[in-house]
Structure 1
Amino acid sequence: MPCSFSAYVDEAGDEGFGKLRLPGTTGQSRWLGVGAVLVSDSNDRFMPLWRDEIVSLFPKKQNQRDIHFRYLNHHQRVAACNVLREKPLGICVIASNKETILDSEELEVFKRKQHLYNYLVRWLLERLTAACREKARLDGNGPANLFVTFSRRAGTDYQVMRNYFEFMRDGRELMKPVRSIDWNVFDPANIRVENHAVRAGLQIADVVTSATCAGLEPDEYGNVEPRYALSLKARYLKEHKRILNCGLTLIPPIGRSPLSKEQGAFIAELNK
């Protein structure tokens, strides 16, 4: 019998390259993160309960059923992450350091609409499908199936995304990737798109993705906040007991990504 999984996908940051934000200024994010919360089919039905458990901690928000990480204060963010760290879910985030693209040959490619986003989703699905396959194998179940739900983004053409993945699935790429999406686990037809407000899974994906990127994206004062992600440490996907390049993947990789002392310390602690 197939072992089914659901992944809910959201992003933190934006795709723009016009003016990357510096401390004390306005502009576009220096990082774009695309992340997912992964659950088994049997646990998917608990997502609304987990979301409601978070909301119950905030008396002024109890009439709401729509969590947005950016609207939570620091203490509420910590509380939300503390709830989720106890739940049977997996976290996977791909984070692109946009600063490194500015002087690269790929800049004009990634400035095209949706290119950087689709590229990060590809890396995300490579890791999610591998995790589903391995979990099904360890549990002695049949083949794994992955269903992916995206939080609806203005200006994103999801049929273009499906076409992109079908192109890869059919082996039409000129250069073969180092990793590959496991097409036995994921079918591009199994992409769904929902509004953030109607899916608890998407709200939880927003929390874990934004929590992760808070440790990388400097705020208006130039500071990063690693506490949220570190509280979720046990929930990140791992490969050979390591989170880096599995539960959290940096593009470019850590050796070639210019990181501040604080960002570096966050990555080291998360991967310890």
Structure 2
Amino acid sequence: MSLSDKEYGYVAYIDEAGDPGLKRVRPIDQNGASEWLVLSAVVMQAKREPHVLNWTQDIISNLGVRQRNDLHYRTLSPTRKISAGEQIARLPVRAFAICSNKKNMRGYHNARAAKMPSQQWYYNFCIRLLLERVTAFCAARTMKDHGESKLIKIEFSERGGIRYSQTAAYQYYLGQQQQGGQVYLKKREPVMAMLDWDLMAAFPHQERAGLQLADYVASAFYQAIDCGGPGVWDVEPAKTLAPILPKEAGSHRDFGVALFPTPAWRADLTTDQKRIFEFYGYDFTRW
């Protein structure tokens, strides 16, 4: 995948934490895949793109990190994670987090989604959930920002096992379904007019400063909800991002931060796992 010279008005950097494996899932299976898949997007106007490297370098410098030149959440101490989050929250960007709990997906095969030409239907479906929100946000702003409709350039953080050409093809196929009125989930749909196949590409994390910001968002939310994993549970870094998480109808819930499955009580979360979602407006009352 390579980016074209087409004009665009926004850039969305996308990263993930956890993995999309469904055959065996923790905590049901002791040696299973991660309980969560978290996808993040950091979105900005295209005019900000030349400044992103300076932003991350300033954050690294302010943190006093001397061992590496890229910003990587996993390598930061707890206090540095808080400081980095506070600095990111002051940038002219917006961030989104899709948090998919996989317990109820264990061993699941979605025949409808699998009909699309891809071998990674679950990952692609979660990307769809993310792009529904990112495209809606940009579509609502584009006339104010640019006086016309402008496309979104998508850059993915390259990870082993994910074929991003299939992800781009999935979005194209979904657009064809929309045109034919055959989309199954209609509560939200990606605004396909904001996307272009030629403006999607994947890059190594260290090559794109914007992907390092997306890594922070995905990893902060993952640390806030992966209470039973090998890492240390901590909700505070994810809380620092509140200023840049968009709201819909006055709430972050299901827009800037989205929990799946829905309704929220179906995720069967622990008290600790619920905390970050409650902070962002979720109610786990079972109706």
Deviation (angstroms), 1:267: 1.0
Tell me the SS of whatever aligns to 1:12. strand
Deviation (angstroms), 1:229: 1.1
Identify the residue that residue 75 of structure 1 maps to in structure 2.
Answer: 79
Aligned CA-pair RMSD: 2.6
CA distance in structure 2 between the aligned counterparts of 1:222 and 1:151, rounded to whole angstroms: 22
Identify the residue that residue 270 of structure 1 maps to in structure 2.
Answer: 280
Identify the residue that residue 201 of structure 1 maps to in structure 2.
Answer: 210
Question: Quick one: structure 1 residues 150 and 103, their matched pair in 2 at CA, closer, same or farther if it must change by over 3 Å?
Answer: closer
Question: Quick one: structure 1 residues 58 and 39, their matched pair in 2 at CA, closer, same or farther if it must change by over 3 Å?
Answer: same
Identify the residue that residue 91 of structure 1 maps to in structure 2.
Answer: 95
Q: Is 2:264 aligned against 1:259? A: no
Deviation (angstroms), 1:141: 2.0
Deviation (angstroms), 1:174: 4.3
Identify the residue that residue 20 of structure 1 maps to in structure 2.
Answer: 25
Return the match for 2:47 from 24, 42, 65: 42
Q: Residue type of the partner of 2:59?
A: I
Identify the residue that residue 241 of structure 1 maps to in structure 2.
Answer: 250
Tell me the SS of whatever aligns to 1:39. strand
Question: Quick one: structure 1 residues 139 and 220, their matched pair in 2 at CA, closer, same or farther if it must change by over 3 Å?
Answer: closer
Corresponding pairs, count: 268
Q: Residue type of the partner of 2:21?
A: G
CA distance in structure 2 between the aligned counterparts of 1:180 and 1:220, rounded to whole angstroms: 32
Identify the residue that residue 164 of structure 2 maps to in structure 1.
Answer: 158
Question: Quick one: structure 1 residues 173 and 151, their matched pair in 2 at CA, closer, same or farther if it must change by over 3 Å?
Answer: farther
Deviation (angstroms), 1:211: 0.8
CA distance in structure 2 between the aligned counterparts of 1:22 and 1:105, rounded to whole angstroms: 20
Q: Residue type of the partner of 2:44?
A: V
Identify the residue that residue 122 of structure 1 maps to in structure 2.
Answer: 128
- The structure richer in strand per residue is 1
Question: Quick one: structure 1 residues 151 and 140, their matched pair in 2 at CA, closer, same or farther if it must change by over 3 Å?
Answer: closer
The more displaced of 35-44 and 219-228 is 219-228
Identify the residue that residue 4 of structure 1 maps to in structure 2.
Answer: 9
Tell me the SS of whatever aligns to 1:9. strand
Deviation (angstroms), 1:140: 6.7
The more displaced of 259-268 and 146-155 is 259-268
Identify the residue that residue 59 of structure 2 maps to in structure 1.
Answer: 54
Q: Is 2:238 aligned against 1:229? A: yes
CA distance in structure 1 between the aligned counterparts of 2:229 and 2:109, rounded to whole angstroms: 30
CA distance in structure 1 between the aligned counterparts of 2:120 and 2:107, rounded to whole angstroms: 19
The more displaced of 221-230 and 163-172 is 221-230
CA distance in structure 2 between the aligned counterparts of 1:73 and 1:40, rounded to whole angstroms: 31
1:96-111 aligned within 5 A = 96-102=100-106, 104=108, 106=110
TM-score by length of 2: 0.84
CA distance in structure 2 between the aligned counterparts of 1:198 and 1:221, rounded to whole angstroms: 28
Question: Quick one: structure 1 residues 145 and 72, their matched pair in 2 at CA, closer, same or farther if it must change by over 3 Å?
Answer: same
CA distance in structure 2 between the aligned counterparts of 1:168 and 1:107, rounded to whole angstroms: 15
Deviation (angstroms), 1:199: 0.5
CA distance in structure 2 between the aligned counterparts of 1:156 and 1:223, rounded to whole angstroms: 26
Q: Contact 2:174 / 2:183 at 8 angstroms: preserved in 1?
A: no
Question: Quick one: structure 1 residues 239 and 137, their matched pair in 2 at CA, closer, same or farther if it must change by over 3 Å?
Answer: farther
Deviation (angstroms), 1:164: 1.4
Deviation (angstroms), 1:239: 1.1
Structure 2 unaligned spans of 5+: 1-6, 283-287
Tell me the SS of whatever aligns to 2:62. coil
CA distance in structure 1 between the aligned counterparts of 2:172 and 2:271, rounded to whole angstroms: 41
Identify the residue that residue 144 of structure 1 maps to in structure 2.
Answer: 150
Deviation (angstroms), 1:177: 2.5
CA distance in structure 2 between the aligned counterparts of 1:221 and 1:13, rounded to whole angstroms: 12
